[in-house]
Structure 1
Amino acid sequence: MPRPLHDQVVVVTGASSGVGRETALLLAEHGATVVLAARNEEALRTLEAEVTRLGGTAFVRPTDVAEWPQVEGLARETVERFGRIDTWVNCAATAVYGEVHQLSAEEITRAIQVILLGQIHGMKAALDQMRPQGQGGIVNVASALAVQAVPLQAPYVAAKHGILGFAESLRMELEHERSPVTVSTLLPSSINTPLFEHARSKMGVLPQPVPPIYQPRVVADAVLHAISHPQPRMVVGGGGKMLEMVHRIAPRSAPTLVLRVGKTVQKQKTDRPDVGTDNLFTASSGPGAVEGSFGQRAKSTSVYTTVLEQHPQRIRALLAAGALLTVTALRRGRR
């Protein structure tokens, strides 16, 4: 069983803003020791003060997750300072919006390096420390787009698919060797984080999340649940589950439904001009923030996540009941 949260040493990448920052704050409320990693040191320092004020212990380690030596150093320094890593939370991300023909090879490469390799580096660095410890958990914050693609985000979609695949393979290896190290992957719906303000846009306007939108706290709550109750995969937000179900039920028709019915090209564009600043190649600046600019449209809770996704046995029971009802109906029809 995982240690209680107040006794955990947790590394959080992407801690300067969004889900990573909110996760760190929530861990601090439980008294955890939180190692804060991101490129924006100014934002990490303001977060360090908040974590301390809330009752947690904070350690700042500026890190570019795209660079393996930096991630390896982050893991090694955490163990040297605190003796172990109980949980590693991969939250770092960036984004570039536009049609593939509009993107340069350098932009695609950088996005993949940060989003995909960044989480792979995190999983590998954590694993190298956790296997000798004989305990530990890895929580990856991926996306519902790891299951079903959308247009205008090809590098992001590819990276999130890769995170899910790598994590599943790693989890199977650990299960085969009966290792106590766990791997959980979260698949959030659209979340109101500063990602959209920090994204590089080739669309001429700033991007926006596709509704329904949820607040970062919804994902942070799910992260803490996964830390205490590891499970292989968890969809966060009913919107993400709807996307997954469309892909599962009608995989051939799903792209057309997402594009035509979902109008995902139009819904990803704001009417605000792009200001030309992003964090693709350089770190964002400023004190950092949890939320983006879409709070008035964002939901603060997800009943679906808390009632079903965090209790997989309930989903299995519903599926079994549905299968039983279907078989019963078919038998009656034959009669």
Structure 2
Amino acid sequence: MSEQVVVITGASSGVGRETALLLAERGATLVLAARNAEALNGLRDEVTRLGGTAHVQVTDVAEWDQVRALAEAAVTRAGRIDTWVNCAATAIYGQVHELTAEEITRAIQVILLGQVYGMKAALGRMREQGEGGIVNVASALAVQAVPLQSAYVAAKHGVLGFAESLRMELEHEGSPITVSTLLPSSINTPLFEHARSKMGVLPQPVPPIYQPRVVAEAVLHAIAHPQSQMVVGGGGKMLEMVHRLAPRSAATALLRVGKVVRKQRTDRTDDNVDNLLTPSTGPGAVDGAFGRRAKSTSLYTSCWSNIPTGSGPCSPAVPWRPQR
């Protein structure tokens, strides 16, 4: 089997970066996209050291021309696009009345349109090839909303809806192109340090929290075994079940029992540094600041979704076999 060519947006940190490292260990050719050039160049060196091949393309996914150029660069440099992984995201924490129209617009552009543009750019190339796969990293909040993250929640709902419409169109025409959407639980990534906060303090993920590797392993599983939707982490599955079984009372239960507003606030004063309008700086990182509270495995994901992580009781190590 020839090596896979994978485009990853949001590759500078978090799930995107960890996905790149796992794929590098399997000899993949990667096209890495984000706004932070320093982080991308450092990741390229890591990918090379691990045995993969990497090309860097500084990209703002909120701009269609840049995403289209990313697809063109991938084909020019690597010859094809086997898989396109949408990971780029940003976040704003605060009540709706505290957000400006500019902030809401920018968040929707990055989180929703960034993935929509990625799907469209990939689709054009894959239709020419006659095959390919798209993997979207959405969120469990695409199913069940929470307060203080209105723009993020709205955008992730949109990603899920757009992806499902595209998947149905491809199925209708008998296309071999696949679309998979992951719905992760709270993940310990630098997203929270890079988020814009209106709360006066830095935000934090709602527990239970999982390490980025849990989602990255799910991305590899979706590349090899495409599926329309996959919840990653038992916490996300609980949210999905509450919404499905008792949608009218889900929000009330979250606010009363989960105290989700309080759980999204740290006791650390906000540093007023975020990546909403300008890129993050520095070398980039996979993990965020909540490693001590984060789970390195998900029993639900490895057992129920049968993801071969090699680290869980239900998932013995199995070679990665991407479909072509």
TM range (shorter): over 0.9
How much does 1:83 deviate? 1.2
Match of 2:100 in 1: 104
Match of 1:192 in 2: 188
Match of 2:223 in 1: 227
SS at match of 1:7: coil
- The ranges of structure 1 where at least 4 consecutive aligned residues each deviate by more than 4 angstroms after the TM superposition are none
Match of 1:322 in 2: none
Amino acid at match of 2:225: H
1:17 to 2:13 alignment: yes
Match of 2:31 among 7, 29, 35: 35
Q: Aligned partners of 2:62 and 2:280: how far apart in 1?
A: 15
1:207 to 2:203 alignment: yes
Contact 1:34/1:59 (<8 A) preserved: yes
The one-character-per-residue Cα deviations of 1:192-213 (angstroms, maximum 9, x if unpaired) are 0000000000000000000000
Q: Aligned partners of 2:40 and 2:119: how far apart in 1?
A: 22
| 1:1-335 correspondence runs (5 A) | 7-310=3-306
Amino acid at match of 2:11: A
Richer in helix (by share)? 1
How much does 1:132 deviate? 1.1
Contact 1:234/1:310 (<8 A) preserved: no
How much does 1:258 deviate? 1.1
Amino acid at match of 1:206: L
Amino acid at match of 1:19: V
Match of 1:319 in 2: none
The gaps in structure 1 that reach 5 residues or longer are: 312-335
How much does 1:135 deviate? 0.5
SS at match of 1:84: coil
How much does 1:309 deviate? 2.2
Match of 1:330 in 2: none
Q: Aligned partners of 1:161 and 1:306: how far apart in 2?
A: 25
Q: Aligned partners of 2:223 and 2:306: how far apart in 1?
A: 12
Calculate the aligned-residue CA RMSD, in Å.
Answer: 0.8
SS at match of 1:253: helix
The one-character-per-residue Cα deviations of 1:171-226 (angstroms, maximum 9, x if unpaired) are 00000000000000000000000000000000000000000000000000000000
Amino acid at match of 1:207: P
Percent identity, aligned pairs only?
79
Amino acid at match of 1:164: L
Contact 1:21/1:289 (<8 A) preserved: yes
Using structure 1 for the length normalisation, give the TM-score.
0.91
How many residue pairs get aligned? The number is 307
How much does 1:310 deviate? 3.7
Contact 1:214/1:298 (<8 A) preserved: yes
The one-character-per-residue Cα deviations of 1:245-272 (angstroms, maximum 9, x if unpaired) are 0000001000101111111100000000
Q: Aligned partners of 1:169 and 1:138: how far apart in 2?
A: 13
The one-character-per-residue Cα deviations of 1:285-306 (angstroms, maximum 9, x if unpaired) are 0000000000000000011111
How much does 1:145 deviate? 0.1
Q: Aligned partners of 1:36 and 1:81: how far apart in 2?
A: 12
Contact 1:15/1:37 (<8 A) preserved: yes
